Amino acid sequence: MSNSGHKFLKSFTLKERSWILYDWANSAYSAIVTAIIFPVFYKSMTSAAQINDSQADSYLGLTLSIGSLIAALAAPILGSLANFKGMKMLLFKIYMGAGVISTLLLAICPTWTWLLIIYAFTIVGFHGSLLFYDAFLVEVTTEERMDRVSTYGYALGYIGGSTIPLLATIALLSFGPSIGVDAGLAARISFIMTSIWWFAFSIPMMRHVKQEYYIEREPGLLKKTFINLWSTLKSLKDYKAILFFLIAYFFYIDGVNTIIGIAASFSDTIGIDSNFMIMVMLGIQIIAFPFAILFGKAASKFGTRALIMFGIVVYSVSTLIGFNLSSSQEPFLGPLTLGQLQFLIEAFLIATSQGGIQALSRSYFGKMVPLNKANEFFGFFDIFSKFAAIMGPALFAFATMLTGDSRYGVLSILLLFIVGGVVFFLSWRFSDKESSQARN
């Protein structure tokens, strides 16, 4: 990082900074590969293979679901295994490494089918590493600082981890043809660059973050893992505030992840130029930076719950805008078409809440869980998230296939925000006292 980056983080401890930097590291994948370059590159390959747009969208949705399913099924088992001394960081390294290597392999995929297969492996590696990364939050900071540390992680990811590699990618796409680099080669270079960035900025996390809450290893490690997992699963009924939050999170974060995953592909389907879309996505990263920090500061004044609910409402509105996006290519406001103007409004709304709702959900959960079982509880946090990531893309895919129109796939996502918001509101009747007792 630059000196300005160090100054930006000077109020954080070494462990907090090292943990935050993993958001800087992995955001290159989530912003460039997941949200922009992969969907555009994938669409160019399916178009060359004469696969129609709606069918290509449904294949992409199913791939997202399959990759998330694999990660989800393993999450609670791995969370329980991570409770043993030394296992948490080892598992983090394995999943992070798998994500980095598979992202690198995207650069050499010869067909769209192989591209989807390798993409599924990147999803497993990315989400698997986040399970352990999120669980480390309780070990790198205090309960009072969790909202701030978590939101700054997302903020740093947006302004550096996303923006800097993204600018390099845009430069390749814009000026590459003049030096013999076409769009396909630029995308492949971007995959390579992303994998290097991801690994390089993961090094501080691996060096300075240590597992502080653990149980000693013992014979029959795998058997003991399943015994502990079953014990934690049975105990969930005693933590009603945690259980209701997990159910709410299951639905609303599903909508968030699905919108991120299908935005670029959907915008291409309704006729929004890919270059315009990439510039808008860059704008999202820049706008999301201050808003992620604002979410953290606002949470200290209005409460974490209120800010999460605000994010759910904003995403609900953005989904309705997405459903009504115009495909007209006629200028509406200056050089902008009506669809481009609507897309800009939707993107701005998403940018205001994308980092905040994810960061505060992470810290809100981290402040509720028992410290001695944090890894197992974050395993359930992760499985609820990943099973949600299966349902959302599948819902989008099936609604699109049923109607033949991707707009109805987008509209179907609104249901997830409505259910998530209602359950989250209902969870408020469980007192903070209960959550505090659960931690002890």
pTM assigned to the model? 0.74
% helix, strand, coil for the chain, step of 5: 85, 0, 15
Q: Which domains does the chain have, with CATH numbers?
A: 10-439 (1.20.1250.20)
Q: pLDDT value at position 390? A: 67
> Is the pLDDT confidence value at 333 over 60?
yes
User: 185: phi > 0 → left, psi -120 to 50 → alpha, else beta; which?
Assistant: alpha
DSSP one-letter string for 138-161: HHHS-GGGHHHHHHHHHHHIIIII
Q: pLDDT value at position 389? A: 60
Tokens of residue 343, six digits: 């897309």
Average pLDDT over residues 370-377: 72
Secondary structure of residue 218 in the 3-state scheme = coil
H helices of 157-220, in order, are: 163-175, 183-200, 203-208
- pLDDT, tens digit, for every residue of 52-63? 877 887 788 788
Is the distance from CB of 309 to CB of 424 less than 8 angstroms? yes
Per-residue pLDDT band for 11 (boundaries 50, 70, 90) equals confident
Secondary structure of residue 202 in the 3-state scheme = coil
Out of 190-194, 222-226, 377-381, pick the least confident.
222-226
- Distance CA(291)–CA(282), nearest Å, equals 15
Tokens of residue 115, six digits: 């591209």
- pLDDT, tens digit, for every residue of 61-117? 788 778 877 877 787 777 778 777 888 899 999 999 999 999 999 999 888 899 999
Rounded to a whole number of angstroms, the distance between the first and last alpha carbons of the chain is 37
- pLDDT, tens digit, for every residue of 120-175? 999 999 988 988 898 898 889 888 889 889 888 888 877 766 677 777 777 877 77
Q: pLDDT value at position 2? A: 47
Per-residue pLDDT band for 433 (boundaries 50, 70, 90) equals very low
Per-residue pLDDT band for 308 (boundaries 50, 70, 90) equals very high
DSSP 8-state class, residue 331: E
Residues whose CB falls within 8 Å of the CB of residue 309, separated by 6 or more in sequence, listed in order = 421, 424, 425
Q: pLDDT value at position 100? A: 96
- Distance CA(256)–CA(158), nearest Å, equals 16
Average pLDDT over residues 13-37: 86
